[in-house]
A and B are shown apart, each in its own frame.
Chain A
Amino acid sequence: DAEITQSPRHKITETGRQVTLACHQTWNHNNMFWYRQDLGHGLRLIHYSYGVQDTNKGEVSDGYSVSRSNTEDLPLTLESAASSQTSVYFCASSEAGTNQPQHFGDGTRLSIL
């Protein structure tokens, strides 16, 4: 069955370090998204991609970057981790076109000390 996999599931790191969260989908979806989930804020969009070599900023993109070199993967990088980036991160994918149903990974819980 097609799926979307995030790794690692849990990570603890220190402020100032570079961190990369992986997202891999086997749905063959064009669209991929990264969200963060914080208490009191629900899910907020960080970055998204509508296809290979396409990346776009979302609502809360500062301090994050993504790259899309193939259809299956959209890694999320925190260039210099800050304590404010402690959160649960979700990756999602959907078929081409806007507002298609999104399928989510199981999330990565990131703690920055």
Chain B
Amino acid sequence: GIQVEQSPPDLILQEGANSTLRCNFSDSVNNLQWFHQNPWGQLINLFYIPSGTKQNGRLSATTVATERYSLLYISSSQTTDSGVYFCAVGLYGQNFVFGPGTRLSVLP
């Protein structure tokens, strides 16, 4: 099956800093989704991004499916950005496979 890696596993930032989270996958995929799990455990959809670039406020994401990676950019980070960020990838006819996550801590 598809293998999904995320880097870095842990990241500590000062409020206001920018960061880039990476998701690598072992096979060509047709779909990719980024989630944020907040400190209360809720999983929040960030982006559904099988290819290309999307932006939503301070967050943006880019997927290059042919090179098997996706990037999540967080600009001007805030303490509320803390939590774990997951990418999930999928092939047609198969369900999503989740990566292990990147744990982000934003310090005031």
Complex interface bits, A39-76 against B, C-beta within 8 A gives 1, otherwise 0: 01111110010000000001000000000000000000
- B48 contacts the other chain (Cβ, under 8 Å)? yes
A103 partner residues in chain B, CB cutoff 8 A: 45
Q: How far is the CA of A42 from the CA of B97 in the complex (A)?
A: 10
**Nearest CB of chain B from residue A37's CB, rounded to whole Å:** 8
A104 to B88, CA, bound (A): 13
B66 located at the interface, meaning its Cβ lies under 8 Å from any Cβ of chain A in the complex: no
Give Cα distance in the complex from A30 to B41, angstroms. 25
For the complex with contacts A42-B100, A44-B98, A99-B92, 11 further pairs of A-B residues with Cβ separation under 8 Å are A35-B98, A40-B100, A42-B86, A43-B98, A45-B95, A45-B96, A88-B41, A102-B96, A103-B45, A104-B42, A106-B41
Interface range on chain B: under 10, 10 to 19, 20 to 34, or 35 or more? 20 to 34
Using CB atoms and an 8 Å cutoff, list the residues of chain A in contact with chain B: 33, 35, 40-45, 48, 58, 88, 90, 98-99, 101-104, 106-107, 109
Does B83 sit within 8 A of A, measured CB to CB?
Answer: no
Question: Does B108 lie at the interface of the complex (its beta carbon under 8 Å from any beta carbon of A)?
Answer: no
> What are 19 sample pairs from A and B whose C-beta atoms fall under 8 A apart?
A42-B86, A42-B98, A43-B88, A43-B98, A45-B95, A90-B43, A98-B92, A98-B93, A98-B95, A99-B31, A99-B50, A99-B92, A101-B45, A102-B33, A102-B45, A104-B43, A104-B45, A106-B42, A107-B43
Give the residue name and chain of the A residue nearest to B93 (CB).
A98
Chain B's closest residue to A106 (CB) is B42
In the bound assembly, the distance between CA atoms of A109 and B30 in angstroms comes to 32
